[in-house]
Amino acid sequence: MTDSTHAGRPVRLAVDAMGGDLAPGPIMDGVACALRADKALTVVLLGDHDVVTMFADVHDRCEPHPTTEVIAMDEHPASAVRSKKDSSIVVGCRLVAEGAVDGFFSAGNTGAMTAAGTLVTGRIKGVARPAIATVIPTPGPPTILLDAGANADVKPEYLLQFALMGSAYSTAALGVKEPRIGLLSIGSEETKGSQLVIEAHELMKDVPGFIGNVEGTDITSGVVDVVVTDGFTGNVALKLMEGLSKTLFKELKTAMTSGAASTMAAAVLKPKLAALRDRLDPDATGGAPLLGVNGVVLIGHGSSGERAVTNALRVGAAVVRNDLVAHIRDAIAASSEA
């Protein structure tokens, strides 16, 4: 993450202490670690009164903001957001809307975060649908994939906006000056793909950095900085990658630990494999922003632990300091005028 230009600019991030399968313990550990790493970071901690006040009491630059409700992982997103006004997710998104914080992170219900980000924080003017952008490791610099699951059904115009927003995120979060953008399809020719993709390709032709269609192999090859797709395909791809990496490492372990000579050889290689595994771990980024809303809203994996939270807050502070939201606003405004 390139935050060097603005390192030190004070940033206030709200964090949902109640969100995710492991909350609150490992979430708080991640907050503590992030506060130690970034001396210009202040965290506003949302959640159960006792939990957040106790933690804030013993940590500098940490303010408690008790909330009385929790949206569970399996609740229906839109109705939960409507009915639970004092839930940590709704309050966090409201604090962003009010400008009381620069951003908000939760590892809670992804659908509820998407709904609250869209309805409570609110969309940037001109944005049709916010999209979740996720960072995919490649052998070189990482690639941004969006939409990772906010919109199962999209229109060609949405994909055009995803391209603009993804490009702004690539610059703000990863420091890529002129991001190369690819449209995910099933053939590189512009006539290949679904009707949706063929129409989107036509709309995207004038987008700076657009290199045309890319295929499934290109998601992890590093050939582009931004891969644009609908939230159905993007979510399937993301979960497939997680599943396949896990399966491969498991099989690798089995292959490597059968037989004495292998076990010894495996011990030598263990640190290197751990480093590779680490790099492929989704926790290395930790938070996926909901792009297109009026503020930095970061969604964590349900299984987010200390490392994921620490990294999510690092990404959050970086994109705040690099004015991500202003860049998206400008890109969407320029595109509407064109």
> For binding to a copy of itself (CB under 8 A), which residues are involved?
138-139, 149, 152-153, 184-186, 192-195, 197, 215-221, 229, 231-233, 235-248, 250-252, 255-256, 258, 261-262, 264-269, 272-273, 275-276, 280
**Residue 159 Cβ, how far from a copy of itself at the closest point, in Å?**
13
**Which is nearer to a copy of itself, 206 or 271 (by Cβ)?**
271
**Which is nearer to a copy of itself, 26 or 111 (by Cβ)?**
111
**Residue 268 Cβ, how far from a copy of itself at the closest point, in Å?**
4
**Which is nearer to a copy of itself, 142 or 316 (by Cβ)?**
142
CB 121 within 8 Å of CB 93: yes
**Residue 279 Cβ, how far from a copy of itself at the closest point, in Å?**
8
Alpha helices in 73-211 (DSSP H): 77-83, 88-98, 110-116, 156-174, 195-204
**Which is nearer to a copy of itself, 97 or 196 (by Cβ)?**
196
Going by C-alpha positions, the residue among 14, 27, 180 that lies closest to residue 102 is 14
Please provide the DSSP assignment of 71-100 as one string.
Answer: --TTS-HHHHHHH-TTBHHHHHHHHHHHTS
Q: Rounded to an integer, what distance in angstroms lies between the CA atom of residue 249 and that of residue 254?
A: 9
**Which is nearer to a copy of itself, 248 or 333 (by Cβ)?**
248
Q: Which amino acid is at 256?
A: M
**Strands, E assignment, 162-300:** 181-184, 210-214, 226-228, 287-291, 296-300
**Residue 247 Cβ, how far from a copy of itself at the closest point, in Å?**
5
**Which is nearer to a copy of itself, 269 or 326 (by Cβ)?**
269
CB 305 within 8 Å of CB 287: no
**Residue 30 Cβ, how far from a copy of itself at the closest point, in Å?**
24
**Residue 256 Cβ, how far from a copy of itself at the closest point, in Å?**
6
**Residue 211 Cβ, how far from a copy of itself at the closest point, in Å?**
17
Q: Rounded to an integer, what distance in angstroms lies between the CA atom of residue 93 and that of residue 82?
A: 13
Going by C-alpha positions, the residue among 232, 195, 233 that lies closest to residue 215 is 233
Going by C-alpha positions, the residue among 230, 214, 45, 39 that lies closest to residue 151 is 230
Q: What are the contacts of 273-277 at 24+ separation with CB within 8 A? A: 273/249, 277/245, 277/249
Segment (H or E) for 14: strand 11-16
Q: Rounded to an integer, what distance in angstroms lies between the CA atom of residue 34 and that of residue 108?
A: 19
**Which is nearer to a copy of itself, 138 or 335 (by Cβ)?**
138
Distances (CA, A) of 76 to 81, 100, 112, 147: 9, 27, 8, 20
**Residue 106 Cβ, how far from a copy of itself at the closest point, in Å?**
18
**Which is nearer to a copy of itself, 9 or 253 (by Cβ)?**
253
